[in-house]
């Protein structure tokens, strides 16, 4: 997660997101290599197509051009490598959660939170060397709400990887991008680009195809 955050702080957000979100496609191959999970060709093609939909939504500058005010550069090689390391780190996490499918989901989430607290304290003490205490009700509400939502999201994400193959479960994370631009429009009033609509439709279609394929394979078994 730290690699991904660094890349997003140093690169155009769309470019960093595109690199980090190669992880679901990589998970298909890594799951087959390390967990010996069978790759369903239709699901794999859907995953790659969904990544194409992601590209339409985030519109990275190296493909669509840097024509907006925040796109000053495409990031350094350090940032690019950091984004790719973030993607591979996510793959490792996905495979690990899949391996721990027999463990109670709250145990996994507990140690995830514990590691986050310890590493954050070390970062504050050794690198940042400063701490900001929120001083408004709005900030506290946002922080507490983020914590609760993150806990719920991590719990369901972990459970999903315990129940489903790593590759298929990882592809469902592309729906994150769809919901982000939906919330941007409904809550923040952001303008929806036509490419975002195309990408969202592609991602949703691929997600439905994978879900239907899973149902068909389950019925055969």
Evaluate if residue 194 carries a pLDDT over 60.
yes
**Residue 72: what pLDDT?**
41
Q: Which of 115-124, 138-147, 205-214 is predicted least confidently? A: 205-214
Q: What is the pLDDT of residue 75?
A: 52
Confidence of residue 80 (pLDDT cuts 50, 70, 90): confident
Return the closest-CA partner of residue 25 out of 51, 55, 62.
51
At residue 101, the 3 state secondary structure works out as coil
Confidence of residue 13 (pLDDT cuts 50, 70, 90): low
Q: 206 pLDDT exceeds 60?
A: yes
102-130 pLDDT, tens digit each: 899 999 999 989 998 998 899 888 887 88
Residue 38: count other Cβ atoms within 10 Å of its Cβ. Answer: 10
Nearest CA-CA partner of 30 in 89, 76, 117, 71: 89
What's the CA gap between 214 and 216, in Å, rounded? Answer: 5
Rounded mean pLDDT, 144-152: 91
pLDDT attached to residue 144: 94
Of 210, 151, 196, 153, the residue nearest 24 (C-alpha): 210
Output the pLDDT for position 183. Answer: 79
pTM: 0.75
Q: What is the mean pLDDT of the chain?
A: 82
Please, is 214 exposed, middle or buried when counting C-beta atoms within 10 Å of its C-beta (0-12, 13-18, 19+)?
middle
Between the ranges 15-29, 109-123, 174-188, 197-211, where is the mean pLDDT highest? 109-123
Q: Give the model confidence (pLDDT) of 18-71 as tens digits.
A: 778 888 888 888 888 898 888 888 888 988 998 888 888 777 766 776 554 434
Q: Pick the residue with more confidence: 68 or 89?
A: 89
């Amino acid at each position: 997660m730290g690699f991904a955050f660094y890349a997003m702080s140093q690169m155009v957000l769309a470019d960093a997101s595109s690199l980090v979100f190669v992880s679901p496609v990589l998970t298909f191959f890594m799951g087959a290599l390390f967990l010996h999970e069978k790759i369903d060709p239709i699901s794999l093609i859907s995953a790659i197509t969904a990544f194409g939909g992601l590209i339409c939504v985030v519109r990275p500058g190296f493909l669509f051009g840097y024509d907006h005010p925040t796109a000053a550069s495409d990031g350094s090689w350090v940032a690019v490598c950091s984004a790719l390391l973030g993607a591979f780190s996510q793959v490792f996490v996905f495979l690990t959660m899949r391996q721990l499918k027999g463990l109670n989901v709250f145990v996994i989430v507990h140690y995830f939170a514990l590691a986050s607290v310890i590493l954050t304290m070390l970062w504050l003490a050794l690198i940042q060397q400063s701490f900001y205490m929120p001083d408004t009700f709005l900030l506290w509400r946002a922080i507490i709400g983020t914590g609760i939502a993150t806990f719920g999201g991590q719990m369901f994400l972990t459970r999903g990887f315990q129940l489903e193959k790593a590759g298929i479960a990882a592809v469902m994370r592309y729906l994150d991008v769809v919901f982000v631009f939906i919330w941007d429009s409904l809550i923040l009033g952001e303008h929806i680009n036509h490419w975002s609509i195309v990408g969202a439709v592609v991602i949703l279609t691929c997600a439905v195809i994978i879900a239907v394929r899973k149902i068909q394979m389950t019925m055969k078994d």
